[in-house]
Structure 1
Amino acid sequence: MSDTPKGAPRRRIDVWEQTAIATLLGLMTLITFINVVLRYGFNSGFIWGLEATLILFAWLVIFGVSHAFRVTAHLGVDAATSFLPAGPKRAVALLSAAVCIFYALLMLKGAWDYWAPFAGFQTTTGRWFPTGFDASTRDRAFYITEQIPMPWFLEFLAGWINQGEVWEKLPRFIPYFILPLGISLLLVRLLQATREIYAGSRESLIVSHEAEDAVESVAALNRES
């Protein structure tokens, strides 16, 4: 009961992230399956199917990067750190986490600066970290995708971003939104992992060795028998 208030927000993020990944994978499969049926069964198909699948795959990959930090699935080389005592090993893990957080902050600025013009917003000033907003940012809200049609239920966005002019195709700021969203989620996951390393409930950012330990345990049992 005591950890419920602290754990609830994290569980909500976990559920939301897993639901998003499952939905993206399901949509990719559904669009591809329908296109195959239409192509070979009716000599037809969604002309926008390939572009939509590529966008969904990009979203899936970026979501997967942050989710892999959550489940400790990223690969890494620990040939040197595995020989360190617990204290220095933890210090190295915290140092690597700090470097990753610094890099994620740089990526977040870059992600915003790339996406903002397509959403009618201003990019940030400053080479490394934001020092303000650039008022001379060119508005690129009119940029659209190549073939994906504009869903009718999103047409209201034109009044907010595109000065009331409805897009003929899906505007690019929608698929590009995964950049600031995904990097923000990555930063959250890195902060969570760093806190766990500091608290001692996690060894490092990379994949754990539980599977290797389990194999060794089974091998030891077989030798004894």
Structure 2
Amino acid sequence: MAAAVLLPALALATACGGGGGKEGPGPVKASGAVPIAKLTSALLTSSDVPHVQVLPAGSKDQLLGAAQKADTAACQPIVDQWSSQPKHPRQVYTGAMVTDTTDKDKGAKTISLTVVASYKAGDAKAVLDELAAAVAACHQYSLVRGGVTTHFAVAPATAEAGLGDQQVSYTVGDTAKGAAGQVLVTVVRAGDTTAAFETLRADHKPASLRRTIPVKQVAKLRTAAEAG
């Protein structure tokens, strides 16, 4: 599958991103934000982690979608995670498709839609706090798109400690597709920046995100923030 097609397909697996609103992020307005040039240079590259291939998104439409409203208020932070119009706006953001081919089994190859973002001071922490609360309280929700209702199931996943200042991990998927429609979402905060990964396996079995990937991405975000 071509990368240009795969990026929004990954996001659509959670019905929150891809092919959404055309409005880009607003200008940097807060001291806590990392300028877009530095954020872009902080994005993971293919040379940063062995056996990882990184393809930057050609358009922000491949990363985040339009505003969506969950039928259950407690689940809204989960929906907002892949929306271009969340409760806590990103000051700037960019992203890529990250493919991990460490495992020799081709079916075990993992593909992650990755979005790195910078927020005004304090907002990134609020995003992670509210997301953690949502994952604990939300088990299922529905979205209506084009007159069609889709039901999603949510379950907490184990997030390794020490990835960043905060980390939240969970699975979400279209209940009509079963395990094949499920993706792993991992969101890590480093100061006023976040790195979000929406991961699936090539064979659609339960996915995992290799620790080295978020750790390296967070390290680059910290460096960009210090230089900003």
Report the TM-score when normalising by structure 2: 0.26
- Greater share of residues in strand: 2
Please identify the structure whose Cα radius of gyration is greater.
Answer: 1
- Greater share of residues in helix: 1
Report the TM-score when normalising by structure 1: 0.26
